[in-house]
Structure 1
């Protein structure tokens, strides 16, 4: 379920620039061209039935011959919701207007976009460089991962985690900031569930999309619930845990001062 490229493609077609990314950037400022209703439908089903979203990705490939979204509405709306949630935290903990603007910008640029770019680049490189099965002959179509699709997978995985760690966490924060073993346990359980769901959605994003050499990583994992992405997902899981746990500890420490 990823972009395909024939191994015997001519050099002229292979060197042709891909217009998808420039068009994607241009549409960010054109709100009237965004499919807002479909974006909210995706966000809802990513939290309830994520497999349906990736099934629709197959239909997108059949109609537009690309796996990545050509509509930036998901990124734009997710950024707006993230900014609103961050402002809610700043208002609840009585931050100044200048500090609130700084926090919103840092959350959007660092915790969402920059972290997403780094993780998407890492996953894009790892899957294309090490987890693809070589085509047996020149007549077999090779499967490769688009970078923009890797970023889409990150955004899809990030949204349910945003709901848990920014929205749900906000309403439960009076419990989490209390002293004692139970608040600490509940807080860590929420982070564990959110990071695990992020991990699971990344697995869905790459599962069955290309001929990945997963068997080497499955053999020693037995009956693990998320098969086939041991090396790839363990690193990804660690990155997510580190990023959001660090962010949470810093915010809580700052608010208690």
Structure 2
């Protein structure tokens, strides 16, 4: 008679050698803890949201200490992600009222702002910077031996995107809403104001992104992350000849 292994009452028989929870456990902690509200530090997240707008360098001063205490560069608390998503939901409600989109239109706008503007675009951008930083910017000092060689975590790259999105949200989803009656007028001063708003938002995004990767001690030449500011500034100057960026962007959302 063959000897069968004895299974405990809590064990499961796996077919095909797979782990039913393997895909879930491989996700970054920030996504696996989305529903654990009692463990989220919203006070720290609000502090970071504030300083990302007024003094972003202070936020990245904590990165090294987080690595020392949690053995990871990425934050494992999804509070920041939830706060930004919630703020986008509130902003979409305000935009839908201004443009009289109705309930269904407001829900659609909220989904677009959260999942397309914030998350989907962030997945593309952070994946690009994650790949580029590990392949082109990663550097090991010659003559040193590292038991834990530095590597940019994908989750950290997504954290950096979330940080960079904060001033973008403030400028383009809040302040632009307040200035809609002005920046959509047929005046050059209004064109200048609207285009300058987009210039500052994009500049802040890439600057905070640069600070995020510059905070990692094993990366070099992180200044290349600021190179997109050259075409952005060039485009801003060219747009002053008569291209109202704000009005064109709003027309994509509302057909205004």
**In which range does the TM-score fall when normalised by the shorter chain?**
0.7 to 0.9
Residue number in structure 2 paired with 1:249: 248
Deviates more, 1:71-80 or 1:91-100: 91-100
Q: Which has the higher contact order (CA 8 A, sep 6+)?
A: 1
Residue number in structure 2 paired with 1:172: 179
CA separation of 1:30 and 1:99: change in aligned 2, threshold 3 A = same
Deviation at 1:196, TM superposition (A): 0.6
Pick one of 149, 156, 160 that aligns with 1:153: 160
Q: Which secondary structure state, in structure 1, belongs to the residue aligned with residue 142 of structure 2? A: coil
**8 Å contact from structure 2 (residues 195, 245) kept in 1:** no
Query: Residues 87 and 211 (structure 1 numbering): CA distance in 2 closer, same or farther, change over 3 Å?
Result: same
Q: Any idea what the Cα deviations from partners look like across 1:16-46, whole Å, max 9, x if unmatched?
A: x996845432311122211111110110011
What TM-score, normalized to structure 2? Answer: 0.78
| 1:150-202 superposed Cα distances (whole Å, 9 cap, x missing partner) | 00001001001111111111111111121111111100001101111111101
Checking the alignment, whether the CA contact within 8 Å between 1:176 and 1:186 is kept in structure 2 is yes
Distance in 1 (CA, whole Å) between partners of 2:246 and 2:115 is: 14
Partner of residue 209, structure 2: 202
Structure 2 gap ranges (5+): 1-22, 236-243
- Report the count of equivalent residues: 224
Structure 1 segment 1-257 matched on structure 2, within 5 A = 21-136=27-142, 139-140=145-146, 141-214=148-221, 228-230=222-224, 232-235=225-228, 249-252=248-251, 255=254, 257=256
Q: TM-score, normalised by structure 1?
A: 0.78
Structure 1: 5+ residue stretches without partners: 1-16, 215-227
Q: 1:204 to 1:108 in 2, by over 3 A?
A: same
